[in-house]
Amino acid sequence: MQSINWTPEHSNALQEHLAKGMSYSEIAEAINAKFNTAYSRNATISRARRMGLAGAERPGDWPKQPTKAQQSSSRKMRERYASLSGWIVPVFEREEPVKLRCVETNPRHLSLPELEPGDCRYPYGGDDEGEAITFCGQPCREESSYCAPHFHLTRGPGRSLKRAAGTVVLRLVEAA
């Protein structure tokens, strides 16, 4: 990487080449060949700007910025053909979230260490950041981790009470 401190000879050469109308990449190649340096095109542009030689003028073949009238006409065209674009933007209405924990039971709000075998493990809380999670704690339904109201709440209509049994193939990997 080349130092950012250009010697006066390099700066003078840059100024001379700019006066000749050379491009910045050609100037970088010429200075590198003459002084055995490794300046890049961007380094020559930056040095010319620091010296006050690089103006805001652009070469003639660069595209010009559109005028205000052209910008407004392109906006009118977009508005005119917006309905034909094929994009349908859905409009969503704000709805309040449904409270699922509204069953006819009075939860005991036990913490996890306070739960005993046979207590309902339906969770409450934890929705907000830092909110503690408690559990229902009412007596469980037989062969379930939930009390009867929470059991029906989690199952919903039409769900099977038991999981469908499938065949499982076990393979002995290593004998103990």
The predicted pLDDT at position 151 comes to 84
**DSSP string of 65-113?**
PPPHHHHHHHHHHHHHTGGGS------PPP-PPP-----S-----B-GG
The span from the CA of 176 to the CA of 172, in Å, is 10
Domain boundaries, the chain: 8-51, 112-155
Q: Strand pairing partners for 119?
A: 139
130: region left, alpha or beta (phi > 0 left; psi from -120 to 50 alpha):
left
**Per-position pLDDT tens, the chain of length 176:** 445 678 999 999 999 999 898 899 999 999 999 999 999 999 999 999 988 887 655 555 666 666 666 666 767 777 766 666 666 667 778 777 666 556 677 888 898 899 999 999 988 887 778 888 899 898 998 888 888 888 887 776 655 555 555 666 767 677 65
Taking the whole predicted model, whether its pTM rises above 0.75 is answered as no
CB 24 within 8 A of CB 45: yes
The predicted pLDDT at position 54 comes to 73
